Chains A and B, each alone.
Chain A
Amino acid sequence: MLSRRIIPCLDVRDGRVVKGVRFRDHVDMGDIVDLALRYRDEGADELVFYDIGASPEGRSVDRDWVTRVSRLIDIPFCVAGGIRDVDTARAVLHAGADKISINTPALERPALIGELAEAFGVQCVVVGIDSIREADGQWRVRSHTGDPDRTRELPVRTLDWIVEAQRRGAGEIVLNCMDSDGVRRGYDIVQLKAARAVCGVPLIASGGAGTAEHFAEAFAEADVDGALAASVFHSGAIAIPDLKRELKARGIEVRDV
């Protein structure tokens, strides 16, 4: 039986792993390869690297560290950040990434999703979505979230975008619920359930994990395929082996390491 995936997310800036709260005030968390190996050893099922400076700065991801990670890591990893054309995606995949995740560039030019799916197969193409609940009660997407000063409010409804992204060839959706991101009060189960109802490809929860209970809720209630978190893993607040033991005890299928 397919296991639910635990996915540490490493935000990368200038070749280092950083973490901010609500996308601001980034703190250095360590070397990319050191952290990647630590999470692999602890039983992470997959890793996501977001080059958070790339998209706002209008450049693509630095491929050197992708190669360094790929040489040493024997679990899958996904790379995001400023990938806005097929050639750049190819270079990142050839450097050793298993999947590429696009967010802002997909919103700017939705046809990019189809071009990547056509070139590499849908299984390589992850669409990341930053979503926020607005005053009228609707969830809508944000772009350029790597830099709060450049973040843009778009009129696109999150659920509509999930449907369109799949239609265009997204093989996986990572839904980052910005209202809960970085504050450790739990994943946004209501939003994730709404997303699940319209999402036929794997759905990954992001934003808000603080305890093992939060992961269990996301899997059991919102039926997500994977759960992504950053600060709770970086700080040591949650150790992945403990988390997996806890999930297993609740009858949630996980990979033993």
Chain B
Amino acid sequence: MRVVIVDAGGANTGSVRYAFDRLGVDAALVTDAASIRAAERVVLPGVGTAVQVMARLRELDLVDTLRTLQVPLLGICVGMQLLFSRSEEGNIDALGLLPGRVVRLAGTPALRVPHMGWNTMRKVRSSPLVEGIGPGDRAYFVHSYAAPVTADCILACDHGAPFAAVVQRGLVAGTQFHPERSGRVGARLLRNFLSPDFAAGPTP
């Protein structure tokens, strides 16, 4: 399967590539529209700030390519946040593939921000994307901003307030956690994304 990882300057592109490698898939790092359009699966990782990753996508002239993609797309961490309409981080317009606005997590003395570590998630809707990931399973999060729980939310997580941990609308999906660093749970999600069943999409 032709899997490409959009190299938008995020620092975790290497680790995401290795995660696919562990699944036996050789994912290429790409920065051009033609390679993205020719792929069967597209991954948009992102460690850094929404402002930087979005600026890099504009610089590479990939915004329209990603907005009009006809194949499954998986955003990871900041990559997932950029699927939404806007981000409070730098007050920017993002890709707008999913409605909603990414906001900063509100910390309290007992709830530290960044939200960093292994957290549990709860199911909001069913989807082949989260097949085999059950209650009590934990994934690794590290972020200060988060997307709201909307109609596109598959798994939700709580850190003071609920936020979206996994989202999907049709062929567009995203994970706030890092599948490349979430052990068995992360590997399962990536395998599900590669599966032909993925295109079936979420069910209510």
What is A's interface to B at a CB cutoff of 8 Å?
A: 1-5, 40, 45-46, 67, 70-72, 74-76, 90, 93-96, 98-99, 119-124, 171-172, 200-203, 223, 225-226, 255-257
Contacts and interface: CB of A to CB of B under 8 A. Distances in A.
Interface string B118-160: 1110000000000000001010101110000000000000110
**Complex A-B, nearest 6 residue pairs according to Cβ-Cβ distance, in ascending order:** A93-B11, A76-B181, A123-B114, A255-B118, A123-B142, A96-B14
A155 B112 CA distance: 29
Given A74-B181, A74-B183, A203-B112, 15 more contacts: A2-B159, A3-B117, A74-B180, A75-B181, A75-B183, A76-B178, A94-B13, A121-B47, A123-B144, A124-B47, A225-B112, A225-B117, A255-B118, A256-B136, A256-B138
A223 B12 CA distance: 30
Contact of A98 (B21, B22, B142): B142
B71 interface: no
B115 A93 contact: no
Contacts of A256: 136, 138
Contact of B119 (A1, A67, A76, A98): A1
Contacts, number: 110
Given A123-B142, A200-B109, A225-B112, A3 B14 contact: no
A200 B15 CA distance: 28
Identify whether the interface residues of B are mostly helix, strand, loop, or mixed: mixed
Interface centre among B11, B113, B182 (most CB of A within 10 A): B11
Contacts of B118: 2-3, 5, 45, 255
Contact of A70 (B15, B138, B140): B15
Interface size class of B (residues with CB under 8 A): 35 or more
A255 B143 CA distance: 19
Nearest to B183: A74
B92 interface: no
29 contacts: A2-B115, A2-B118, A2-B119, A2-B159, A3-B118, A4-B117, A5-B118, A45-B118, A70-B14, A71-B22, A75-B140, A75-B181, A76-B140, A76-B178, A93-B11, A94-B13, A98-B12, A98-B15, A121-B49, A122-B114, A172-B114, A172-B116, A200-B107, A200-B113, A201-B112, A202-B116, A202-B117, A223-B110, A226-B117
B36 interface: no
Nearest to A90: B11
B48 A119 contact: yes
A256 B159 CA distance: 19
A122 B159 CA distance: 18
A121 B144 contact: yes
Contacts of A226: 117
Interface in B81-98: none
Contacts of A172: 114, 116
A171 B114 CA distance: 6
A90 B13 CA distance: 12
A240 B138 CA distance: 17
B199 interface: no
Interface in B1-51: 11-15, 18-19, 21-22, 47-49
A202 B180 contact: no
B55 interface: no
B187 interface: yes
Contacts of A96: 14-15, 18
Contacts of B136: 256
B186 interface: yes
Contacts of B138: 3, 255-256
Contacts of A223: 110
Interface in B164-181: 178, 180-181
B143 A123 contact: yes
Contacts of A203: 112
Contacts of A76: 140, 142, 178, 181
A164 B30 CA distance: 39
